[in-house]
Amino acid sequence: MPTKKKTPPSRKKKVAAPPEKKLQNQKKLQKKSLKAAKKDLPAPPKSGEAKLLRSEVVYQGPLFRVTKDRILEPSGKESSRDVVRHNGSVIILAVDSSKSKRDPWIVMERQYRHAAGRFLWELPAGKLELGEDPLTGAQRELEEETGYRAKKWKPLVEYFASPGFLGETMKVYLAEGLVSGDAHPEDDEDIELRLIKLSDILKQIEKGAIMDGKTLSCVLLYARLKGKKG
């Protein structure tokens, strides 16, 4: 008895998706992967400050310590920073205007700075103890290094010394009504003390003879403010 041949079922040909649809699908996959990756990242800081993720002290000395910090910056970018941590310093612009208010005398110090490899002319300054009141620290440093005490104290300005890697702030005080006394510097301090006219210091700055940053900024600011007052 004759048998009929079975014909194989017809297969539908798959139609390739148009290039536009392929591109849309790729974008959807990329968005999904980005969302999944963002879930694993810490939330960006809400304020203008960076978020500290972790910190390790890699050096601890008597004057400062160095930390290796992993932070989340305000932009949301994660990065590593090596930072010198310091209690902060005070600078004293001690002014004697008893002989001339127009061109007062400024208390200046000359001492050798090993890091700079030279002697520098500077304003009196010093490191604050942990938790120490800045004004108390300024009064202490002025008397220790120069022997002078002042009847009148006024905050002048505060700034960061080198914020790229150094957390130290420097607070400047204007000290007036000077009373002389005996200095008692620390054992490792060898200081030459002089009173120099403001006009002479400005001349030395113009010549490039004053290379200490705190002295440059403080004297120039004081001279500008004094010029405004007339």
User: What residues are annotated to the active site?
Assistant: 189
One-letter identity of residue 100: S
DSSP single-letter state for residue 228: H
177: region left, alpha or beta (phi > 0 left; psi from -120 to 50 alpha): left
Query: Around 213, how many Cα atoms within 13 Å sit in the side-chain half-sphere?
Result: 6
Task: State both tokens at 160.
Answer: 């960061």
Query: Around 219, how many Cα atoms within 13 Å sit in the side-chain half-sphere?
Result: 28
Residue 222 in 3-state DSSP?
Answer: helix
In this structure, are strands 192-197 and 105-113 parallel, antiparallel, or unpaired? antiparallel
Report d(CA 81, CA 73) in Å as an integer. 11
